[in-house]
Amino acid sequence: MPDSTPQLKSDTLMKQMKLHLSTDASKELTKKIGLVYQINIAPKKLGFDEVIYVVDLKKGEVTKGPYEGGKPDATFAFKDDDFVKVATGKMNPQIAFMRGAMKIKGSLSAAQKFTPDIFPKPSKM
């Protein structure tokens, strides 16, 4: 089994993102944004038991664990549910930020480019 016991909803989205970045459709994305985001996802409470993903829109890849190529352009902290809401367009990132559902570290102009359309939408069976 490639993934051990699934725990986060975000894991599914990240997996899809990873696959998405391997397709031609994502080439435009990396060209357009060209930034590295680190996303810390907590199951219940911000800052606790965080699972860290790096969405590298320079190289076009998603990796688990903290960014190793220096400093990411922006780091976000979410709760699992809130990340799903943002990534699926249920919640606007700015609103998430205003509500404190999303914490931002790093460049705000980089954070501004973090929009729901960079993530592929999950399809439903």
Q: Which parts of this chain interact with other proteins (CB under 8 A)?
A: 1-3, 5-7, 9, 11-13, 15-16, 19-20, 22-23, 25, 28, 84, 88-92, 94-95, 97-98, 107-109, 112, 116-117, 120-125
Give the nearest distance from C-beta 43 to other proteins in angstroms. 12
Indicate the residue among 53 and 68 with the shorter CB distance to other proteins. Answer: 53
Indicate the residue among 44 and 124 with the shorter CB distance to other proteins. Answer: 124
Distance (Å, whole) CA 81 – CA 110: 23
| Locus of tokens 């909803």 | 9
Indicate the residue among 26 and 40 with the shorter CB distance to other proteins. Answer: 26
Give the nearest distance from C-beta 38 to other proteins in angstroms. 18
Phi, psi dihedral angles at 102 (to 5 degrees):
-135, 130
Q: What burial letters (b/e) apply to 23-52, b meaning 16+ CB within 10 Å?
A: eeebeebbeebebbbbbbbbeeebeeebbe
